[in-house]
Structure 1
Amino acid sequence: MPDLEPHRRELHVHCYRMLASYEEAEDAVQETFLKAWRGWDKFDGDNLFRAWLYRIATNVCLDMIRRTSRQVVTMNSFAEVPWLQPFPDRMLPSDEEPDAVVVNRETIELAFIATMQLLPARQRAAFIARDVLDWSAKETASLLDISVAAANSALQRARATMQEKLPERRSEWTSAELSDEERDLLARFIDAHERCDAAAAIAAAAQDIRVTMPPAPMCFNGLDQLAPLLERAFGPDRDGDWKLVPTVANRMPCSASYLRRPGDTVFRVFKMDVLRVADGKIAEITTFGPSATLKAFDLPQTL
């Protein structure tokens, strides 16, 4: 049987697009490999090995979605997708990996992943196969074990939903690297936190900034609603002092925040913030607890 490991990263991304959870996608890849080992004697050598793995992975994800019934009916913010997790860029497939699909920002950033959760499971799979993996209608139908007509119908419905719900100007989000503007705003975000400077944090933020904290249901819209958060984090009664470490998640600027509480001698990991930048300002902050993917980001528990 061929080595499965060269396919791990791209299958992880594929499952993440389906499930929106880094951890559950990792579990799905493990189950995919187990099923591949057990079913190797049934592999038809006339079919491409990679396509065979994708079919197994897709069916694993479809089963997981059916078991959990994880689909959102409406979505006004990421707070409505409580299972959403960030994906560390360091775990994305590199250009050097054979046959790996290049992961453009528009197919991995948080808005895309969250919006996918509006789609029924089969529509998600059809959309990924056709518009992300660039598979043919016939290949997609084979992947889902349905007719070509049914695959095309699922794709059209998925495209309509994605076009309606995704933010505008996504065509600009094609670079795999952060822009100078994003790096600058991430640096300003980090500096404002470490100096507990609320004015500097506000200066870097858009007037209509949105802050969500999956899996918590809260959503804060605009600087007026953000002000109490800054007061609590930076004011004289704050929980302690901050140190932030820059990183990248979902092809977006990100920082891991470490808090040193009064009387403590070390900074302990507290949260991760993924930033969306638009028009020279921080337009959105998605805050995650650190426990789920801290190891994947190769970050320490304490500083």
Structure 2
Amino acid sequence: MGDSGAPGAVAEGLEEYRAELTGYCYRMLGSYAEAEDAVQEALVRAWRSLDRFEGRSALRTWVYRIATNVCLDALASGRRRALPMDLSAPSEGGTPPAPPQESVLWVEPCPGGDPEAAATAGESVRLAFVAALQHLPPRQRATLILRDVLGFSAREVAALHSCTVASANSALQRARATLAARRHTTDGPAARPSDSVRRVLAERYATAFSRYDMEELSMLLHVDATLCLPPYAKWMRGVPDIHAWLTGPAIGCRGSRLVPTQANGSPAFGQYRPSRDGTGYVPWALQVVEFSGTRISGIAAFRDTDRLFPLFGLPERLDAV
């Protein structure tokens, strides 16, 4: 391997890829926790195989090949992660949800911005995009992420999959066609506003939600905005049904406080509802808010606060002010 390829230097170089590998594995698996485990397994395999790395391919390509194989092994069961929109049609906002569907593997939020911002392309870490990726066969999924998100060449992807360039290009075209068809049925990709616009909209949303100002919330929502509630399969589309939900089954959210954070490259909030004994506020949901133009296009309220709040650095409870 030469001096630059000494085992110590290569091992150090591998660790530098941890963040971007996490973003890759998250898109592949739809779960941040599983992505972290997959990256750790991939790096362990790479460290154990350093003596077999001959430098004939780039170190990045080599470690991505290992990470891809780890992900493909994890996806071998055939079960894919989903959002409520993938399971049923929208429902009326004034009706309570059915019991949680704990058997469903839900697409989960990713803390912070994109784990490897330098390799990000537009909407590539949005919840809706990650959920759409889960509809692709695993190898097509890997090919599309590697080519269209991470910038690998067709030759590099072919080498990674041990296939021909023509085969890699064919897989990419099929994957793009599948995603394009899904975008067509779900009204297309969101028009991403500037960071300053998103910041203002997020602040307005937090203020309106904390005041439970339905008029302001209605003004902020896109006419076809969606609200989903994992682990419940229930989801709503449109301002009237979201309004009916918030003023009906979810009326207990009145008086909530929102603590800002970031998820999937979008503003997010830890929602704390007033405790029953009146001594403060308790975790209720992690809200991930997505935008289209100057309106909110989607809200995903994840109820698994015991696991998600520590992951996002959110406090266990808030004291009364």
- TM-score (norm: length of structure 1): 0.86
Off by >6 Å, runs of 4+ in structure 1 = none
The aligned runs of 1:1-303 (5 Å cut-off) are: 1=7, 2-3=11-12, 4-70=14-80, 77=85, 82-89=105-112, 92-93=115-116, 101-166=118-183, 167-168=187-188, 173=192, 179-232=195-248, 235=251, 238=252, 241-289=255-303, 290-303=305-318
Q: Could you report, residue by residue, the CA deviation over 1:99-147 in whole angstroms, capped at 9, with x for unpaired residues?
A: xx43233211122211111100010011112212222222111111222
Q: CA deviation at 1:192?
A: 1.9
In the alignment, is the contact (CA less than 8 A) between 2:84 and 2:234 conserved in 1? Answer: no
Gaps of 5+ in 2: 1-6, 89-103
Q: Could you report, residue by residue, the CA deviation over 1:43-80 in whole angstroms, capped at 9, with x for unpaired residues?
A: 222322221111111111111111353277xx882567
In the alignment, is the contact (CA less than 8 A) between 1:194 and 1:241 conserved in 2? Answer: yes
CA distance in 2 between partners of 1:82 and 1:225 (Å): 26
Q: CA deviation at 1:90?
A: 5.1
CA distance in 1 between partners of 2:249 and 2:260 (Å): 19
Instruction: Report the residue type matching 1:21 in the other structure.
Output: S
In the alignment, is the contact (CA less than 8 A) between 1:233 and 1:239 conserved in 2? Answer: no
Partner of 2:93: none
Instruction: Report the residue type matching 1:87 in the other structure.
Output: C
Gaps of 5+ in 1: 95-100
SS in 2 for 1:123: helix
Instruction: Report the residue type matching 1:243 in the other structure.
Output: R
Instruction: Report the residue type matching 1:222 in the other structure.
Output: G
How has the CA–CA distance of structure 1 residues 37 and 132 changed in structure 2, closer, same or farther, with 3 Å as cutoff?
same
Q: Could you report, residue by residue, the CA deviation over 1:190-247 in whole angstroms, capped at 9, with x for unpaired residues?
A: 1122222223222322222211123321111112221232114774xx2663110112
Partner of 2:96: none
How has the CA–CA distance of structure 1 residues 134 and 102 changed in structure 2, closer, same or farther, with 3 Å as cutoff?
closer
In the alignment, is the contact (CA less than 8 A) between 2:259 and 2:270 conserved in 1? Answer: yes
In the alignment, is the contact (CA less than 8 A) between 1:239 and 1:262 conserved in 2? Answer: no
CA distance in 2 between partners of 1:180 and 1:231 (Å): 30
Instruction: Report the residue type matching 2:234 in the other structure.
Output: M
**Deviating more after overlay: 50-59 vs 61-70:** 61-70
Q: CA deviation at 1:91?
A: 6.7
SS in 1 for 2:280: coil
Instruction: Report the residue type matching 2:300 in the other structure.
Output: T
CA distance in 2 between partners of 1:262 and 1:215 (Å): 23
Q: CA deviation at 1:82?
A: 4.3
Instruction: Report the residue type matching 2:58 in the other structure.
Output: L
Q: CA deviation at 1:299?
A: 1.8
**Deviating more after overlay: 10-19 vs 265-274:** 265-274
How has the CA–CA distance of structure 1 residues 76 and 258 changed in structure 2, closer, same or farther, with 3 Å as cutoff?
closer
How has the CA–CA distance of structure 1 residues 78 and 193 changed in structure 2, closer, same or farther, with 3 Å as cutoff?
farther
Q: Could you report, residue by residue, the CA deviation over 1:10-41 in whole angstroms, capped at 9, with x for unpaired residues?
A: 00000011111111111111111121122222
User: Alignment length, in residue pairs?
Assistant: 289
CA distance in 1 between partners of 2:206 and 2:38 (Å): 35
SS in 1 for 2:151: coil
% same residue: 37
Instruction: Report the residue type matching 2:34 in the other structure.
Output: E
Alpha-carbon RMSD: 2.5
How has the CA–CA distance of structure 1 residues 84 and 76 changed in structure 2, closer, same or farther, with 3 Å as cutoff?
closer
CA distance in 1 between partners of 2:54 and 2:179 (Å): 35
CA distance in 2 between partners of 1:106 and 1:196 (Å): 30
How has the CA–CA distance of structure 1 residues 53 and 293 changed in structure 2, closer, same or farther, with 3 Å as cutoff?
farther
